[in-house]
Amino acid sequence: MSSSANTALATPGTAPAAIRSPFRRTLSSVPVIIALAALAIMVIMALFAPWLHTIDPVQIDPTQRLKPPSGAHWLGTDAYGRDVYSRVVYGARVSLVVGLGVAAFSMVVGLAIGVAAGYFRWVDAIVMRIMDGLMAIPGVLLAIALVSLSGASLTTVLVAITIPEVPRVVRLVRSVILSVRNEPYVEAAVSLGTPTFTLMLRHLVPNTMAPLIVQGTYIFASAILTEAILSFLGAGVPPEISSWGNIMSEGRSYFQLIPGLVLYPGILLSLTVLSVNVLGDAMRDVLDPRMSRRL
């Protein structure tokens, strides 16, 4: 072990410059700070929606249909007289839940399947054929089919968006496992009689964490997008839930009259996805330099 590594271990607060600097440089770059701030605002919106000058987003007021922005309705009203600003703020909740939910689900499921496939040859043969098949079906298509057939609800949407994302995680995890399973330290652990499950958890899984977190960020972004697409096409979360996709879907018919009904949630959606992608790129640069050189 080199002396610099020793110092780093002895005093964790002062990591060697070579380790610390990319973190610092990446995290203090202007786009990353803006992205973090934008995401923070979105999380605050989602968490504190009831206290942000919002009116009940499902409250219908026929006398106030399709009104332009005003003091009472900051972004105007929609075709049912509902307050667009409130609907957009509450919509952040749906996007956040879907993004986090799908990222978490697909990472956990993909990790489990990927580790099994990478470690056991017989699992690999079967599982990877299924994954190949799933990957050949365009994700949005698979998701809308799943939602429409099992009925619209937030849970169905979560599951339907998760299923097409899983194969990507499985492939990633499997490739990492395959590359480390013949490393001497794994062989050492095997020869010491480490139970398979412990071996996986302690020696194999940690290797997958860095690329998995990066991939998770991208899945978060793509899940938010897919949810919006599904709702926009009318095959997403039920219409009574205020999601950005639903607001846009209902605003479509009035686009020539009030473009804001589509554009406000659309721009917010784009900014959110953009911020997550910028963060994902930054995390990839820090956590997984090899991958960053590839794309």
Partner 1 sequence: MVNFILRRMLAAIPVMAMVAVIVFAILRLTPGDPAAIIAGDSATAEQLDQIRRVMGLDQPIYMQFFIWIGQLVRGDLGVSLLSGTPVSQMIVDRMGPSLALCLSTITLSVLLALPLGILAAWRQGKLLDRFVMATSVLGFSVPVFVTAYLLILVFSLKLGWFPVQGYRSPDEGLWMFVRSLTLPTLALSTVYVALIARITRTSIIEVMGEDFIRTARAKGLRERGVLLGHALRNAAVPIVTIIGVGIALLISGVVVTESVFNLPGLGRLVVEAVLGRDYPVIQALILLFAFIYVLINLVVDTLYTVFDPRIRY
- Least distance CB 278 / partner 1 (angstroms): 6
- Least distance CB 281 / partner 1 (angstroms): 7
Task: Give 11 or 256: the residue with its C-beta nearer to partner 1.
Answer: 256
> Whole-angstrom Cα distance, residue 106 to residue 123?
19
Positions in the binding site for partner 1 (CB under 8 A): 31, 129-130, 132-142, 144-146, 148-151, 221, 225, 228-229, 232-235, 248, 252, 255-256, 259, 262-263, 266-267, 269-270, 273-274, 277-278, 281, 293-295
- Least distance CB 212 / partner 1 (angstroms): 20
Token pair listed for 77? 């009203």
On whether the CB atoms of residues 275 and 38 are closer than 8 A, the answer is yes
Task: Give 97 or 274: the residue with its C-beta nearer to partner 1.
Answer: 274
- Least distance CB 170 / partner 1 (angstroms): 14
Task: Give 147 or 204: the residue with its C-beta nearer to partner 1.
Answer: 147
> What angle, 0 to 180 degrees and rounded to 10, lies between the N-to-C axes of helices 154-180 and 84-119?
30
On whether the CB atoms of residues 74 and 57 are closer than 8 A, the answer is no
**Which residues in 234-265 are b (16+ Cβ under 10 Å) and which e?**
bbbbeeebbbbbbbbbbbeebeeebebbbebb
Of 222, 224, 261, the closest CA to residue 77 belongs to: 261
Of 208, 186, 218, 227, the closest CA to residue 113 belongs to: 208
Task: Give 15 or 274: the residue with its C-beta nearer to partner 1.
Answer: 274
Of 129, 236, 110, the closest CA to residue 177 belongs to: 110
- Least distance CB 269 / partner 1 (angstroms): 6
Task: Give 199 or 230: the residue with its C-beta nearer to partner 1.
Answer: 230
> Whole-angstrom Cα distance, residue 206 to residue 104?
17
- Least distance CB 87 / partner 1 (angstroms): 17
Task: Give 121 or 293: the residue with its C-beta nearer to partner 1.
Answer: 293
Task: Give 202 or 252: the residue with its C-beta nearer to partner 1.
Answer: 252
Token pair listed for 113? 């399947």
CB neighbours (10 Å) of residue 97? 17
Residues contacting 233, CB < 8 A, separation 6+: 144, 249
- Least distance CB 138 / partner 1 (angstroms): 4
